[in-house]
Structure 1
Amino acid sequence: MSPAFDDPSRNGAPVDLEGLVAALAHEIRNPLTGISINVQYLQMIEPQDETRREIYADILEAVNRLDLLVREFTEYLQPAPLKPEKSDLNVLLSQALAGLEARGLARGLRVATQLDASLPEVEVDARQFRRALEGILEHCLRSAGEGGDVRLESRLQDQAAVVEVSRSGPALSASRLEALFEPAAALKSPETGFGMALVRQILAAHCCRLEVDSRHGGRTRLVVTFPLHVKSIS
């Protein structure tokens, strides 16, 4: 059932918050699409000097950030039903990394992978689980710092499939660690969207545990544990 609140102006009739947010998101994203298309059209037909290129690039970047926030806020509030299928975690992890590398997020970083080929297939919603892995990887790639390194590892451990992503760079402060999974953090770092809040929601729906270990002088580790005894997540 959708969350609701009583609006006195409606004589006590409840207001469907999820429906309201979905409608509002639709009304915001439509003009954003129009702005993006028109800016790209102007880029094609107008003479381009450095100032105009920078202005158009800034507009498109702002539009894309806002579109990401609206889209992921809607997804966070109204999570899609899971569509489980047998999947290879190593393949999903490799696909997630490839997508982020294509966006240039790994540029200037050293990325190492150590994937356990003996991992059995697991039943997950491949699209959503890959999205969660992308969120973890993106967080580490953005936090590793120039010239840093990120390591990806999968392994079998105690009747569970484990995916570990670790990074170099500064440790998370206690306050940042506490706020890492809060949706409000997206408003402070809009380039990452709802990021880790959405990651935690997706992993919880898959009965996974996510642990974060960040210590001064050491690496920051994000560890996903997928219990192999879970027969179905539907």
Structure 2
Amino acid sequence: MTGLQALTEKEKETLRLLVDGHDAKSMARHLGLSVHTINERLRDARRKMSASSSREAARQLREIERQDPQFLADRGLGDAAAATDMEELRAPAGTRRISRRFGWIAGGIFMSISLALFALASLPGTAGAPAAPKPAASAAPAAETAAVQAARQWLALVDKGDWNSSWNATGQAFKSLNTSERWAEVSEAVRTPLGAVVSRELVSEENVPAPPYGYQLVKFRTSYANKAGAIETLSLVREGGEWRVVGCTIE
């Protein structure tokens, strides 16, 4: 714990990216830094955590933050401090990983993760629930922003099981790391058991500053046939004049 308290936010940021599957080159590219700077951060983090390797230091940080949410409370976005059991959709390129993360990571940290990954993980509470009626149309109100409307349109594709179209609607950073085949495979295994959407209500929208241009964070409260009261959080970036989804979690 003493080692954790000695870490700087930049060192924590680098360790979180490492445990999510990045190497020094990809971290440098996403953070706009040199590989030398990334290696310096990892070296300092190893020393402070008394770890034998950078990956061991990253693993320690992840475990501590899972078990003790107070380390994330001061960086919460919206209702982030209460997110004690968040399942993330994560599928790094060239790997098959199903993992769980606690809480939200603010600013450039979360942006880097969202741009690199779109992950999937099993969600509790999907078994034995009663069937639900067909969902009502989820047309966005006219007052909603373009980012919120884009988020709704993307979620509608996922709700229909249109994996190819939903993959096409993601940002380029996601596509460069995840194939449409991989997305379809894991989506079928994880999203389908949640069942049809019963209701979806906008909770909040905010702009989060992060390199290079920031991103929009859009939250919905969604009830599925087999999971009620879930919180869907999407991050979107502006590409080619359109909003593109680059990250999604379901709590």
Query: TM (normalized to structure 1)?
Result: 0.26
Bigger radius of gyration among the two: 1
More helix by share: 1
Query: TM (normalized to structure 2)?
Result: 0.25
